Amino acid sequence: MKKLVFIILFFQFSFSQENIIDKIGWSGAKKMDVKFMANFIQSKEGKVLDSIKLDYDVQALTRLNGISNVTYKVEKTSSNNNYSVLFTIIENLSLIPNLTIWTTDDVTAAYRIGMYEYNLLGKNITVGAFYQNNGINSFGINFSSPYLFNENLGIETSFQNIGSIEPIFFEDTSAKYEYINKSFELLGVYRTSFKNTIKFGGSIFNEKYEYKSGATSSSVPQYFDIDKFLFKLNNNYDNLKYDFYLIRGIKNTTNLQFVTQSNSFQDKFLIGWNDFSYFKRIGLTGNWATRIRLGLSSNDTSPFSPFSLDNNVNIRGVGNIIDRGTGTFVINTEYRTTLYERKWFVLQGNSFLDVGSWRKPGGRFSDFTKSENFRVYPGVGLRFMHKTIFNAIFRLDYGFGISKNGTKGLVFGIGQYF
C-alpha cells in the first residue's frame, strides 16, 4: 500500500514540475497573420515548454515565404512553472515584379515579365502571372496555398501556355521545332511533418511540335498535336536551417510521373528523378553547397526525350538544350562566400564545378560512362542579394568546359542555382 502511494505521489510531483507555456507572443509581425503562425507551429499555449519544438518552430517559420529570419525568447511569468515565449520575426517583402532577359539562337533577346505575391493575406499564399516572348508569345497563371484547409493540407494549381524553339536530336543530326505546351495542373499538398511534404495530383496538357529547320527523317514527323495526361507524386524532405541567406542541412526531393497520350508516335512512359542537396556553413560567411541529381525515364528511342542537357537546368556554360536523353546523372557543387555586406545588401561570390552524364534514347546504362556523354564544367559566379525581399537573388555564372567538346558561356538567373 505504501509503495502504491509513493508511486502516485511521484507522478503527481513529476507532473506538477512540468514547465507550461502560458503565452505565445509575436514581435515584428506586420503582414504575417499571427493566427496562421500560431496554428502552424508545434508549440502551443497551455502545453509543455519544449526547447526542441521551439527550435523546430524557428526552422519551419523561416521556410515561409513571408519570413526572412526568426528568433525566440523564453521568460518565466509570475505563476509557478509558467513561461511566456516571444517569437521575433523579420518579414520579407513578398510582392515582387519579375523581369528576365536572355538570348537565344533565333531571337536577339527574349524576355519574361511578371508579378508575384508570395505571401497573400500573410498566409504563405502565392499568386501571380507572367508574360514571355522569345519569338513566341507565352503566359502563365499560378496559385499555391499549401495550408489552405489547415496547417498541413492545401492545394497548388496553374495554367500555362508556353512556346519555344526546341532542338531535336536524331540519327547523329538535329532539327529545330516550334514547341507549344498548354497545360492545367492541380495538386494536393499534405505536410506529413514539419520536415516532410507530399504533393499529389496531375495535369491535362496539349503539346504541338512543328518543324522549322534542320535535318528531316521519315521516322520523325514534321508536325504533330498530342493530348496528354500526367499523374504526379512528389515527396520533399527539408531539414534546412536558414540564417538569412546562409544555409546548413540536407534536403531531398523525389519526383515520380506517369504520362499517357492520345497518339501512336509516343508511348506511355514513366519518369522519375531525385535531387539530394547538402549545405554546410564554413566560418562566418562561407557556404558549401552540393546537389546530386539522378533521373531515369522509360527508355524509348524517341528524339523527344524528357531529360535535356541545358545551361539553366544542370550544367552551367554548356549551352541551351544541346542534347537529350532518357537518363541523367549530375553533380553540382559550389563554395559561396560573402564578398561585401551592408545592411540589406549582400554581394556573394562562388566557385563551382558541374559534372554530368546522360543515357541516350534507347541506350544502355553504360552510356553514363562514355566520354562523349560526359561533361565537366568548372566556373565562377556572383550573387547580388537583398536580405529581406523574398528570393531577391540575381545570379551570374560563367562556366567553361574541360571535357570533350567543351564550350563556355554566361548564365543569368533569379535565385540560387540550387
pLDDT tens track for 199-239:
999 999 999 999 998 999 888 889 988 899 999 999 999 99
Is there a single domain that holds both residue 238 and residue 311?
A: yes
- Domain end, chosen from 91, 120, 152, is at 91
d(CA 160, CA 137): 11
- Domain end, chosen from 31, 61, 91, is at 91
State the cell numbers at 343. 545592411
Please count the structural domains in the chain.
Answer: 2
Using CA atoms, how far residue 241 sits from 220, 245, 246, 281, in Å, is 49, 10, 8, 10
CATH of the domain at 221: 2.40.160.50
Beta bridge partners of 133: 111, 137
- For residue 224, the tally of other CB atoms under 10 A from its CB is 16
CA angle, corner 189, sides to 184 and 195, nearest 5? 140
CB 145 within 8 A of CB 123: yes
Is there a single domain that holds both residue 41 and residue 157?
A: no
d(CA 103, CA 412): 10
Using CA atoms, how far residue 140 sits from 133, 160, 182, 203, 209, in Å, is 12, 4, 9, 14, 19
Is there a single domain that holds both residue 128 and residue 251?
A: yes
DSSP single-letter state for residue 149 = S
CB 188 within 8 A of CB 177: no
Mean pLDDT per 10-residue interval, the chain, length 418 residues: 44 60 96 96 95 96 96 88 95 91 66 95 97 93 97 97 89 90 98 96 95 88 90 97 95 96 75 98 96 96 87 89 92 98 95 96 92 94 95 93 88 90
pLDDT of residue 115: 96
Q: Give the N- to C-terminal CA distance of the chain in Å, as an integer.
A: 65
Neighbour-count burial of 406, counting CB atoms closer than 10 A to its CB (0-12 exposed, 13-18 middle, 19+ buried): middle
d(CA 268, CA 255): 17
pLDDT of residue 233: 98
Is there a single domain that holds both residue 252 and residue 139?
A: yes
Each residue's pLDDT tens digit, 334-358:
999 999 999 999 999 999 999 999 9
Is there a single domain that holds both residue 16 and residue 153?
A: no
- Domain end, chosen from 45, 62, 91, is at 91
Neighbour-count burial of 68, counting CB atoms closer than 10 A to its CB (0-12 exposed, 13-18 middle, 19+ buried): buried
User: Would you call 84 helix, strand, or coil by DSSP?
Assistant: strand
pLDDT of residue 12: 43
pLDDT of residue 104: 59
d(CA 230, CA 155): 17
Task: Give the start-end residues of each E strand in 121-222.
Answer: 125-133, 137-145, 153-170, 173-191, 196-214
Is there a single domain that holds both residue 175 and residue 56?
A: no
Is there a single domain that holds both residue 329 and residue 388?
A: yes
Is there a single domain that holds both residue 99 and residue 41?
A: no
Is there a single domain that holds both residue 87 and residue 101?
A: no
For cell 553547397, what's the residue? 289
Look at the alpha carbons of 189, 192, 196, 202 in this order and tell me if their dihedral is positive or negative: negative
pLDDT of residue 103: 65
Look at the alpha carbons of 27, 189, 163, 220 in this order and tell me if their dihedral is positive or negative: positive
CATH of the domain at 35: 3.10.20.310
Is there a single domain that holds both residue 225 and residue 130?
A: yes
Is there a single domain that holds both residue 330 and residue 373?
A: yes
Expressed as residue numbers, the domain containing 184 is 95-414
Is there a single domain that holds both residue 271 and residue 308?
A: yes
d(CA 118, CA 66): 7
